[in-house]
Structure 1
């Protein structure tokens, strides 16, 4: 028996199949992605089974057929033909926003979907696609329970001092507050640190750095402060998102005649690394560029990260462990070194050789022997956490 974990986006779908080993989740037996789901895209499925090489095949879309439906048909065929022995008992969906509705994973019902749809405006790049994915899988796997697992749930331990905006409390009572995101990633990283790094029970800061980026501070492996807030726009500079921005800028744009849609597009799709560099949202592309604007975009990304790590460390009274995760956090040794050098006042000292060697898929320590802060690179696995949550639901 197994649990299928999925993360549906606007143009791609990530999936992994985790076997049930009694009351625990085993290592993924197959994982992959479906790309090219946008209207003009060339849909393809990429997948890899344990111990095997990566395989890719085109997805044939029949006349009048939705490309997402065609992709799910291909995925079902793959699972039935190659992994029939791993019977899917539940499908775990990553859902970015659970709002004030849900503090833990929940089986999907029409009522649940209706509540989650009210949160679309809070995460327009993710939430609508997450819900569309649930609907598609519910049709394709009609007899399999669908379980929604929330990126906001990990942060339900935040205190009112962290969640409350300094605005009219009537708005706070309506749910205008800070929620925090990347919770599935932080939950996984925290679990790894709890098993492998005893000091992580103290003052820990985790940085999830990718196209979306945030920082989370924990004590006792509980979220105490985080950079994302009401929406997935707040905090760090990201691939195409602005991060924290003076609200006065938005008032200025409105006075200049900007519409809601124009402002939303600016903040979510035309800012961040892409907006500052004018070249790309991909850190790898900017690293390869020789332009001054690309270099400045990278420096600004690092500066904002240093600023937020310092702020969150202050919220928990210091720093014992610093962890990097996410696509950039796991693979960009130059950024880790740059950030570590800027945080020396906190006792952070990076070992350059260990840092360079840490590019890979394994847990790695990169702190120097004289560092008072342990520094770790922790490859994240949000799919595994979602599968764990779905298993916990099934056990209930």
Structure 2
């Protein structure tokens, strides 16, 4: 029997999972990893390199059901492994949590209270905690926060132009996808050497999407704000929007707060613009003009955000693509890089089609890379360090 740390990383439409040995460095290769995706819309799963298969028995109709099925399936399939700790991605840590923490009932209650600020994620993150607690109640669990990496930002980068009393009450730009950015920052020296400490913009492009500017490996500015609705256009989320639109929808069109929340969180983004799908893969394969417009808008908004973050950095040395779209959609990368030529980025078309990792041409002032992120490994590092394993 070997000891292992179970990492559960719940996204808005998927669950990534991995088992890491607890008997050596958390940076060792995962014992097994996999994915449950398209939850609520024909959920599929994969263990390791096995073929993709449907989640059985309707367990993929919700994150909570998928979590309970997954934990049970892992325990049955890997009965020679003793799970001694659980590590979880938790999207929002609010003002109270700036570092990983052991989950206690009090911590769980505080995190649940933050669910309205990340409704597409926080309940799913806590569903993983609950599923593991139900199966293995004695196993300690650690919450690792997407907001924590961004606490290094200067105060001005965290402020909204709102009354000071609201700011002091915690209405700040928190930023998200921090575990992904923290991992990218940790591996950049392998790709860039000493230049990794320079002015980097990382683009985490997936069903949820954001960008982060960092220098000397620390977050300086990011596209998301108080909630994960802000910034880039996403699969179902609108990204940045004139707040006057929200007032118009409620005041002039009679929409309730709940209806506006649902519109911005679940019916906008790629899905809303295309009217076809929230999945970039579907849109890239579609001949429909609405699909093309959705892809074009996604890329346009991303290139604009690079310019904004470059201003925050005072220039840019490298652009890094990561996450599902960033790692696997060369057509999207190409369009975004074309929009960044003015910064001195010269794309290498052949390298981009091949998947990099270096995507820019020789002599390009700004380097471009595609680097696979590994939030699960980052969570495993934090979990073992927090528990002293």
Regarding TM over 0.5, the answer is: yes
Q: Distance in 1 between matches of 2:181 and 2:162?
A: 29
Question: What residue is the counterpart of 1:147 in the other structure?
Answer: 142
* Counterpart among 233, 242, 255 of residue 229 in structure 2: 233
Aligned residues: 381
1:304 aligned onto 2:297: no
Q: Distance in 2 between matches of 1:69 and 1:234?
A: 31
* Counterpart among 263, 284, 308 of residue 260 in structure 2: 263
Q: 8 Å contact 2:146–2:176 — kept in the other structure?
A: yes
Structure 1 runs not aligned, ≥5 long: none
Question: What residue is the counterpart of 1:386 in the other structure?
Answer: 379
Q: Deviations over 1:299-347 (max 9, x none)?
A: 1111111111001011011010110001111111111111112211111
Distance change in 2, residues 1:53/1:132 (3 Å): closer
Q: Deviations over 1:186-222 (max 9, x none)?
A: 1111111033312121000000001100000000000
Question: What residue is the counterpart of 2:78 in the other structure?
Answer: 79
| C-alpha deviation, 1:20, in angstroms | 3.6
Question: What residue is the counterpart of 1:46 in the other structure?
Answer: 46
**Matched residue SS, 2:151:** helix
For normalisation by structure 2, the TM-score amounts to: 0.92
Q: Distance in 2 between matches of 1:30 and 1:348?
A: 38
| C-alpha deviation, 1:35, in angstroms | 5.5
Distance change in 2, residues 1:12/1:237 (3 Å): closer
Structure 2 runs not aligned, ≥5 long: none
* Counterpart among 1, 6, 28 of residue 8 in structure 2: 6
Q: Deviations over 1:154-207 (max 9, x none)?
A: 101011101111001111111111000001111111111033312121000000
1:206 aligned onto 2:205: no
Question: What residue is the counterpart of 2:19 in the other structure?
Answer: 17
**Matched residue SS, 1:365:** coil
Q: 8 Å contact 2:26–2:377 — kept in the other structure?
A: no
For normalisation by structure 1, the TM-score amounts to: 0.91
| C-alpha deviation, 1:33, in angstroms | 2.9
Distance change in 2, residues 1:209/1:21 (3 Å): same
**Matched residue SS, 1:175:** coil
Which sits farther off after the overlay, 195-204 or 94-103? 195-204
| C-alpha deviation, 1:34, in angstroms | 4.0
Question: What residue is the counterpart of 2:95 in the other structure?
Answer: 100
Q: Map 1:77-226; keep pairs closer than 5 Å.
A: 77-80=76-79, 84=80, 86-198=81-193, 199-226=195-222
